Structure 1
Amino acid sequence: MASRDEERFRIKPGAPRRPDGSQSGKRAQRFVSQVLKQVSKAGAKTSGARGARPASTFGRGRVAAGMKGQGLKTDARRVTIKSRFVVLKKAGANSVSTHLRYIERDGVTRDGERGQAYGAETDTADLKAFEERGKGDRHQFRFIVSVEDAGELENLRGYTREFMQRMTTDLETRLDWVAVDHWDTDNPHTHIVLRGRAGDGRGKGQDLVIAPDYMAYGMRLRASELATEWLGPRTELDIRQGLLREVEQERLTSLDRTLLRQATGDIVDLTQQPKDGQRQTVLRARLQRLEAMELVGRIDANHWRLSPNMQQTLTTMGERGDILRTMHKALRGQQRELVLETAPAIPVFGRIAAKGLADELNDRSYLVVDGIDGRAHYVRLPVGADLAALPVGGIVEVKPAGRERAVDRNIAGIAREGLYRSVDHLAQLRQEGAPDPQTAVDAHVRRLEALRRSGVVERMADGVWRVPPDFLSRSHAHDTQRTAGGTIELRSHLSIEQQVRAQGATWLDHQMVGDARELSPRGFGVQVRDALQSRIDFLVEQGLAERSGSRVVLVRNLLSTLRDRELAAAGKVIQHQTGLVHRPLRDGVRANGIYRRSVQLASGRFAMLDDGMGFSLVPWKPVVEQRLGQQVSAIVRGSSVTWDIGRRQLGR
C-alpha cells in the first residue's frame, strides 16, 4: 500500500538537556561544543593536524594557526597568553582609558617606578593618542603574555616587539598596538592592547578579525617558538625540576591538566604511555598528593578515580593562596585575623591597606581593608569600580549587596491604593515632628526616581508615583543586580594620621558626633582610638572642644562649623586663582552655574559652579561628573544636597 505524504513523519530530537536533566535557567551549552570540549580533553590537537577537527575558516591567522607548532618539541619554552576580545560599545565609555591607566600604573617596573607604554617604533607611546585613534573602532584586543622564564630575558621589550612583528606577518596587516612590561609579580609579564582595525595591507581600514584558532593556539605557539629561539630549549633537568615543583602545589597545575586529558570518564590509567617513564613517575607522585587532599581515589597501583570537582577545587585553592599572599604583603607584618569573604555579609569600615586587580585581563579589582573590627578583609570590587578614586590609607565603608533599605520600607508603608504622594508624606512627617521633613521627603523622591528609570515604579504626575504590590521584592532585586559583590563608599581620602590636624569635618569628627562605630581593642581599632584622642586635643586648641575631667564637650554644630571654615579657606584660594567671587551657600537657597571642576577637601568632594560673576562650592555627586562644562543647579538643606539636572533631581 502506497504511503501518502501526510502520513510521513520525521523525528526531531530536542535540545540536549543539562547533566541535571533541566532545560531552564541559563542557556544550555551547545551539544557540538560539549563534544568538541570532550574531544579536546581526550587529546585533540590544534587545527591543521591530522585527525583533528576542521580548521576555522573565519578571520585572519587561520593558516598560521594550523602550521605553527609542528616543529615545537617538548623542550620548547612555555608561554602563557591570556586574551580578551572587548566590544567597546558594551564595555563603556571609560573602559579603554581605565585599562590603559591601569597598565601604566605606579610600581610595575623593576625599580618600582611607574610603567611606561611603548610601541613598535617608540619607547614612549602616547596612550591618549592611542585611545583617540581607536575611538571609532568596534572592538579591541587585550593580551597578557607571560614567558615562563621571562626573568632570563635581557630585553623583554625587544621580545614583545619581535612577537608582535611575527603576528603582523601571520595576520597579513600592520598592527596598531601599545604594551607595558610588568615586573611587580613573581612572573614578569607584558600587557598588550591591540586596536581592532586593520592597518596597511589586505583589508586596510576594515575591522580586524582574528581567527579563533589563532587566538587559542597560534599566538601561544608563536610566542613559545620565539622564547625558545631567544633562551634556547629547556634541558631535561629544567623540565624535571619544573614538574617536581608542581607536585606539592595546592593549585591547578599542568600535571592536573594532563591527568584530566588522559582520564576516560573519571578514571586515569597510568599504563597508557609506558615509554615516558619519567613523566609517569611525576604523575604518580601528583596523584598521591591529590589522594592526600581527598581529590582522587586509588583503585589499584595504575588506576585512579578523579573527583568530579577536582578542577574547580584546585582552582579555588589557588585563588585562596593568592589572596592570602596579597593580604600578608599588604599588612607588612601586622598581626590580623584574615577574612577572605569576597562579598562581606555585614558592613565593613576601615582603611585601605592595598588595592589592585585580581584579574588583570578583565579589570576586576580588589581592596584589602584593615577594619576597625580588628580584622583584615579581602573585598572584590564591583565591575567598573575606579581604583584611582580609592587612595591607599583612605577610609572606606563596604556595604553588602542587596540589603533591604529603610527608605523602601517607608515608601511601601506610606503608599495608599498603590500610590505614593510626596505631599501626604511631607504632611505626615510634619505631624510627627520630624526635624527636617523636606529633606526626608527629598531622599524618598530621589529613590523613587532611580527606581523609575529601572522600571520598578511609574511616575503618574509631579510628586505622585505608582508603586506595585511587590515593590519591596522588586526594589531588592534591582539593588542586588546593580551592586553584585557590594558597594564601596569612600568616607575620607585622608588617612587617620592626616585627619588629626585637618581643618575640615573629617571622618574622625563624624565618629565623635553621632556616627560612632564600635572599635575593636586590637588592630586598626586601637589606631582609630588613639587618633580620636589626638583629634580631640586639636579641637581643644581650636576652641571647638573642652575637657571637663574625663568628659569632652564639643561645640554645637561642630561638623558644619568645621566644614564652613574649610570651604571659606578653599574659596579664598580659588577666588585668588580665578578672579571670581566666592559665594558661600545658604541653606535652602538654589545655586546655579556651569560645573567647572571638583575640589577634594577634608570635608568631602565639592563641585565648583561658575555663574559668570562668582562661584559656589556644592557637595559633589558622581552623576554630576557627566555634566562637566554644562549648566546645573543645586539646593543644599542641612547635610543633604539635591541636584537639578534637566528634569532629573539627584541628591544625597
Structure 2
Amino acid sequence: MAQDDDFHPRLGRIGNKGKGAGKRFLGRVLAAANLARGGAGGKAGRGSFFGSRIGRGSGVGRVLGSRGKYGAGHSRRVIVKASIMRLSGKGAAAAAAHLRYLQRDGTTRDGERGTLYGRDEDAVDAKAFQGRGAGDRHQFRFIVSPEDGDQYEDLKPLTRRLMERMEQDLGTKLDWVAVDHFDTGHPHTHILVRGKDDGGKDLVIAKDYMTRGLRERAIELVDLDLGPRTEREVETILRAEVEAERLTSIDRSLLKTANAEREVDSAGRDAFDQTLRAGRLAKLARLGLAEPVDGTRYRLADNLEDTLRRMGERGDIIRTMQREMTRAGIERAAGDQVIHEAGAPVARPIIGRVLAHGLSDEHADRHYLIVDGIDGRSHYLDVGGGRDLPLDQHQLSPGSVVRIDPLKAALRPSDRVIAEVAAANDGRYDVDLHLRHDPAASEAFAQTHVRRLEAMRRGGGGVTREPSGQWVIAPDHLDRVTAWEEKQLREHPVAITSLSIMPLEELVDVEAASWIDRSLAGQVPTGSRQAGGGALGAAPGDGADVSARALRDAGFGRDLRDVMERRRQWLLAQGFAQDEQTGLFPRGMIQALERKDLANAARQLSAELDLPFEEARQGGRIEGTYRRPVDLVSGRFALIERAHDFTLVPWKPMLERKAGQNVSGLMRGDEVNWTVGRGRGGPSIS
C-alpha cells in the first residue's frame, strides 16, 4: 500500500475463516491462559506431572521463556547462571567461604575490595546476612552478566530493579545480597538469596524461572536501559566472531544446518550471512576443524564444539595468567607458562609460590591456582571444587608456598581384601570377620580397611554401615570403588600441601622446623602436615626434588636457592649444622627446632586458655577434646584440651569433623593414630 487510503476492508460474517477456525483460536486462548497460571498446558492431561513446574514462578517462567525463544534477535544478550547451594553438613562453611571470596580484593573498577550491597544499602554486613540464614536448608546463587555490562558505570541500580521484578514474579519478598565484579572482560553481578520466603517457609523456585525467566527479565531491563541492538551493532559482533578461536553463534548455526554426515554449505540466507559462513568455515579449516568437500561444501570435525569450547577456555586462562603475572611483576616467556588442562593428569609434583588463587568457574565453584614453580615456570592448575578444598584461604594466599602432587584413581589392595572378605560372609564386612578370614592380620591392619569404607560412605561410594557396625558390601563393590575414585579425581585432581604461609625471606632465621630445613636434611613434610589429598592421597612428596639441581636460576627457583644457602649459614651459626664444609645436620635437628616452635606457640596459647602446656610424649596416649588447628612454621598442629592442661600434636584433615568432641590416640613418630567412637569395628580415624 502506497497510502493509508489504499486499504479497502471487505466485511463478512464472523467465523467465515474456515471450518474450525473459531475453535482453534479459542484453544490458543485457553492454552495461553493455562500456561500463564502454571497449568499443564499443551497436550498434557490434568494428571500430568512436570518437576520443572514445581515452585514459585512456574507459569511466569514458561511464558517468559517462550517469549525469549521466539523473540526478536536484536535484544541485548544477558547470561544468567543459577544454582542451589545445600547448607547441610559442610555446606554452611562452604557458603561462608564463598561469600568471603566474593568480597576479595581487586574486583572493583578501581581494583579495591568487593563490597556487598542489598535492596536499600550500599554496604551490607556479611556476618549479619549469614546469621539470618543460619539453619536455612539451602541458598540460591545467581550470576548475572550483561553482554554490554561495560556500558554501565554502576551495576547496582540494574540489580535492584531485577530483584524487584523477581519478587513480583515469585510473589514474595526476598532476603538477598549482591556484589559486582569488574575484574574480567565482562562485568557481572553475584547475587545470593536466602532459601526462605517472607513467611519464613522454605523458598522453592521453579526450574523454568531459574533457567529462563530471570534471564528474560534481565534482558528486558537492559533493553530499556541501552535500547535494542542496532543492525550495525549486530553486524559488528558477528564479524568479530569470524576469526574468534572459541565457540561462536556462527558455529552453532553451522552445526544446526549440518546434515547427518556433518556437511554444511557456505551459502546463506543473504549476502551478509553467506560472507559470515564462508569466512568462518575458512577459519575452521585453518584450525583443522573443517575440511572442504566440493564446491562450497565443508565437513565439520566430530569434536568441533568441544574443541572450540576448550580453545576459548584456554584463551581465558592465558589472559588470567598474564594479568596475575603483571600484577606480581613477573615476566615469563610463552614457553615458561604451563597450563595443566582440567582433567589431564599432572605429570609430576610441583613446588612453588602462589601467585593467584581464584574461581575458574564461578557457577560450578571450581578453583584454580597459578604457581611460580622452582622450575622457573608459571603453572596454571585446576584444583577442583571449593566445597571440600582442603586448604584454608590464607594457606593459598599470594606469597604462600605449596606443593601440588598428582593423584590417580586406582583400586587399592584394601578394596580387594574387603571384597574378598565380604564374598565369604554373605556380603558383610567388619573387623571380626576380617580377622577370622585372615588370622595373620592384626586388628590395626583391619582398622585401615574400616577407615577406607568410612571414607567411601561419606563420599557417596555406595557402601552402607549398619547400626551394629557391620558393613553391607555389594557384589559389584570393586566397580563401585572405581566409579567413586574417578568421581573423587574429577572433584579433586591434585593433592595440595601447605609448606609455608610465611614469606620466603622470613624463613632465613626463624626458630622453627620449616619445610626448607626438612629439604636441607633430606626429608619431606610428613603426611600429618599434609592439608589435602582425601581418599585419593598419593604419597605426598614422592619425587618432590628441591635439591640444587632441581632449582632453575629463574623466578622462585632463584629466590629459593638464595634463601636455602642463607638458612644453611644460619643453622651453622646456631650450632645445628655440624660441618661447615658439608653442612651435615644431626639427627635431632628437626625435632629440636620443632620443640622451639611449639614452646613459643604454647606460651601464647597458655595465656589465652589459662591452662598449662604439656608436651606430647612418644608412645603416649593422647586423650582430650579437639578444639581447632594451630598453624605454625613447623606445620599444622591440633589443639587438644584436657581437664588440667592442653597439648599440641600433628594435625590430620579428618579431625575437623570432630571439633568439640573427645578424641584419643597414640603418639607414634610424627603422627597420632587416632581412634574415635565405638572402638573395635566402629569408626576411627588415622
Q: Structures share a fold, TM > 0.5?
A: yes
SS in 2 for 1:618: strand
1:324 to 2:295 alignment: no
SS in 1 for 2:321: helix
Residue identity in the other structure for 1:402: K
Question: Larger deviation: 580-589 or 232-241?
Answer: 232-241
The answer to whether the Cα contact below 8 Å between 2:434 and 2:446 also exists between their aligned partners in 1 is no
Q: In structure 2, which of residues 614, 626, 632 is the aligned counterpart of residue 601 of structure 1? A: 632
The answer to whether the Cα contact below 8 Å between 1:418 and 1:467 also exists between their aligned partners in 2 is no
1:353 to 2:355 alignment: yes
Q: CA deviation at 1:404?
A: 6.5
SS in 2 for 1:545: coil
1:247 to 2:247 alignment: no
User: Alpha-carbon deviations, 1:117-146, whole Å to 9, x = none?
Assistant: 222222223333433444454443221111
Change (3 A) 1:452 1:614: same
The answer to whether the Cα contact below 8 Å between 2:268 and 2:274 also exists between their aligned partners in 1 is no
Q: CA deviation at 1:643?
A: 2.6
Q: What are the within-5 Å matches in structure 2 for residues 135-284 of structure 1?
A: 135-199=134-198, 205-212=201-208, 214-265=209-260, 266-269=262-265, 271=267, 273-274=269-270, 277-284=271-278
User: Alpha-carbon deviations, 1:252-284, whole Å to 9, x = none?
Assistant: 12222233334454344455523xx43442333
Question: Larger deviation: 514-523 or 179-188?
Answer: 514-523
Distance across 1 between alignment mates of 2:43 and 2:350: 52
Q: In structure 2, which of residues 604, 607, 622 is the aligned counterpart of residue 576 of structure 1? A: 607
Distance across 2 between alignment mates of 1:148 and 1:183: 13
Q: CA deviation at 1:405?
A: 9.6
The answer to whether the Cα contact below 8 Å between 1:402 and 1:476 also exists between their aligned partners in 2 is no
In structure 2, the residue matched to 1:501 is 509
Q: CA deviation at 1:403?
A: 6.4
Q: CA deviation at 1:181?
A: 0.7
The answer to whether the Cα contact below 8 Å between 1:171 and 1:210 also exists between their aligned partners in 2 is no
Change (3 A) 1:326 1:422: farther
Distance across 1 between alignment mates of 2:360 and 2:211: 22
Aligned pair count reads 576
In structure 2, the residue matched to 1:313 is 307
Distance across 1 between alignment mates of 2:611 and 2:396: 31
Q: In structure 2, which of residues 661, 665, 670 is the aligned counterpart of residue 630 of structure 1? A: 661
Residue identity in the other structure for 2:617: R
Residue identity in the other structure for 2:256: R
Distance across 2 between alignment mates of 1:278 and 1:375: 45
The answer to whether the Cα contact below 8 Å between 1:395 and 1:492 also exists between their aligned partners in 2 is yes
The answer to whether the Cα contact below 8 Å between 1:420 and 1:467 also exists between their aligned partners in 2 is no
Q: In structure 1, which of residues 514, 534, 544 is the aligned counterpart of residue 522 of structure 2? A: 514
Question: Larger deviation: 326-335 or 160-169?
Answer: 326-335
Q: CA deviation at 1:339?
A: 4.3
Distance across 1 between alignment mates of 2:417 and 2:339: 36
The answer to whether the Cα contact below 8 Å between 2:551 and 2:561 also exists between their aligned partners in 1 is no
In structure 2, the residue matched to 1:16 is none
Residue identity in the other structure for 2:82: S
In structure 1, the residue matched to 2:59 is 62
Residue identity in the other structure for 2:514: T
Residue identity in the other structure for 2:517: D
SS in 2 for 1:173: coil
Q: CA deviation at 1:508?
A: 0.4
TM-score under structure 2 normalisation? 0.74
User: Alpha-carbon deviations, 1:413-472, whole Å to 9, x = none?
Assistant: xx9x9759999678xxxxxxxxxxxxxx96x5663332242489999xxxx999999999
Distance across 2 between alignment mates of 1:478 and 1:259: 38
Distance across 2 between alignment mates of 1:637 and 1:355: 35
The answer to whether the Cα contact below 8 Å between 1:145 and 1:189 also exists between their aligned partners in 2 is yes
Question: Larger deviation: 345-354 or 314-323?
Answer: 345-354
TM-score under structure 1 normalisation? 0.78
In structure 2, the residue matched to 1:82 is 81
The answer to whether the Cα contact below 8 Å between 1:252 and 1:315 also exists between their aligned partners in 2 is yes
In structure 2, the residue matched to 1:650 is 685
User: Alpha-carbon deviations, 1:323-374, whole Å to 9, x = none?
Assistant: 2333333443134252424431333333323211111011111222333344
Q: CA deviation at 1:406?
A: 9.6
The answer to whether the Cα contact below 8 Å between 2:354 and 2:402 also exists between their aligned partners in 1 is yes
Question: Larger deviation: 335-344 or 570-579?
Answer: 335-344
The answer to whether the Cα contact below 8 Å between 1:61 and 1:170 also exists between their aligned partners in 2 is no
The answer to whether the Cα contact below 8 Å between 1:103 and 1:180 also exists between their aligned partners in 2 is yes
The answer to whether the Cα contact below 8 Å between 1:368 and 1:377 also exists between their aligned partners in 2 is yes
In structure 2, the residue matched to 1:400 is 406
Distance across 2 between alignment mates of 1:505 and 1:377: 27
Q: CA deviation at 1:231?
A: 2.3
SS in 2 for 1:568: helix
In structure 2, the residue matched to 1:44 is none
SS in 2 for 1:582: coil
In structure 1, the residue matched to 2:96 is 97
RMSD: 4.0
Of all paired residues, the percent bearing the same amino acid is: 38
In structure 1, the residue matched to 2:494 is 486
Distance across 2 between alignment mates of 1:76 and 1:473: 50
Change (3 A) 1:153 1:458: closer
Distance across 2 between alignment mates of 1:134 and 1:471: 39
The answer to whether the Cα contact below 8 Å between 1:401 and 1:479 also exists between their aligned partners in 2 is no
Q: What are the within-5 Å matches in structure 2 for residues 28-43 of structure 1?
A: none
SS in 1 for 2:247: coil
Change (3 A) 1:130 1:491: same
Distance across 1 between alignment mates of 2:499 and 2:233: 51
SS in 2 for 1:509: helix
In structure 2, the residue matched to 1:293 is 287
Change (3 A) 1:207 1:405: closer
The answer to whether the Cα contact below 8 Å between 2:649 and 2:671 also exists between their aligned partners in 1 is no
In structure 2, the residue matched to 1:433 is none
The answer to whether the Cα contact below 8 Å between 2:451 and 2:684 also exists between their aligned partners in 1 is no
Q: CA deviation at 1:560?
A: 0.4
Q: CA deviation at 1:158?
A: 1.1
Residue identity in the other structure for 2:222: A
In structure 1, the residue matched to 2:379 is 377
The answer to whether the Cα contact below 8 Å between 1:421 and 1:465 also exists between their aligned partners in 2 is no
Change (3 A) 1:53 1:109: farther
Distance across 2 between alignment mates of 1:108 and 1:626: 33
Residue identity in the other structure for 1:340: H
Residue identity in the other structure for 2:371: V
The answer to whether the Cα contact below 8 Å between 1:420 and 1:465 also exists between their aligned partners in 2 is no
User: Alpha-carbon deviations, 1:607-628, whole Å to 9, x = none?
Assistant: 2222243221122222222222
Change (3 A) 1:286 1:602: same
